Amino acid sequence: MTDERASARALEIVTVDSPRAGILRRRAQPVRGVTREVRTLIDQMFETLRHARGVGLAAPQVGVGRRVIVIEVEDRRLALVDPEVLKQEGEVTGTEACLSIPGLLGDVPRSARVAVRARNRRNRYITVDAQGLLARVLQHEIDHLDGVLFTDRVRDPKTLRPAGGEATEVAPESAASAADIHVSGDAVPDDPRPASMKSKP
């Protein structure tokens, strides 16, 4: 592990009832170049995600208005900078939650499969093809970059209900498998640790 990663610290998550909640409704700004500062932010976001026991996190949720998201589902760990949805297919409704809206669940329709282009922490372009839970997490986090919350996507308000236990970022109703995602381009893993050291959602 590099010194940068070793020094990563968890950040405070901005919630909808926070004085800083306005950032959750603003469109985040492009990063354009992955600098040491951006890599440090990525590492801090992963650490924050680990502490919160979530599966995804967007930079605005930690008070940073930049287009950066991190995802950790099972053994897959991704950091995406300036992500852009290239393709969407199908539709499926699933239960979601949000670290920025603690204590609430809702049923949200999402595309069943997506293709997303972004840069990784090495500033190289990759394309992520995902379905299932990973596709849902990608869409949820990219929404955050555009100031959109999962409650905005709920079609039937009657499905909004209290969450039992701790809130996670997208309710992980089913585990993601290796078949749910394909990464092309510079697909060097974002986390060099062995699987036994990685946190679970």
> Does residue 139 sit within a domain?
yes
- 6: pLDDT confidence band, cut at 50, 70 and 90? low
- Assign 3-state DSSP to the chain and report helix, strand, coil percentages, each to 5: 30, 30, 45
> Does residue 201 sit within a domain?
no
> Does residue 198 sit within a domain?
no
Residue 18 confidence (pLDDT) above 80: yes
> Does residue 193 sit within a domain?
no
Q: What is the CA radius of gyration of the chain?
A: 16
Question: Residue 65 contacts by C-beta under 8 Å, 6 or more apart in sequence?
Answer: 23, 26, 28, 29, 59
> Does residue 51 sit within a domain?
yes
> Does residue 92 sit within a domain?
yes
Residue 196 confidence (pLDDT) above 50: no
Residue 178 confidence (pLDDT) above 60: no
74 an active-site residue?
A: no
Write out pLDDT tens, residues 93-136. 999 999 999 999 999 999 999 999 999 999 999 999 999 999 99
**According to the model, what pLDDT value does residue 75 have?**
80
Task: Output the six-digit token pair for 166.
Answer: 């701790």
Cα–chain-centroid distance for residue 132? 14
Q: What's the CATH number where 40 sits?
A: 3.90.45.10
Residue 191 confidence (pLDDT) above 70: no
Active-site pick, 141, 166, 169, 173:
141
> Does residue 43 sit within a domain?
yes
> Does residue 161 sit within a domain?
yes
Range of the domain at 76: 3-185
Least confident of 78-82, 143-147, 157-161, 174-178: 174-178
Indicate the number of domains in the chain: 1
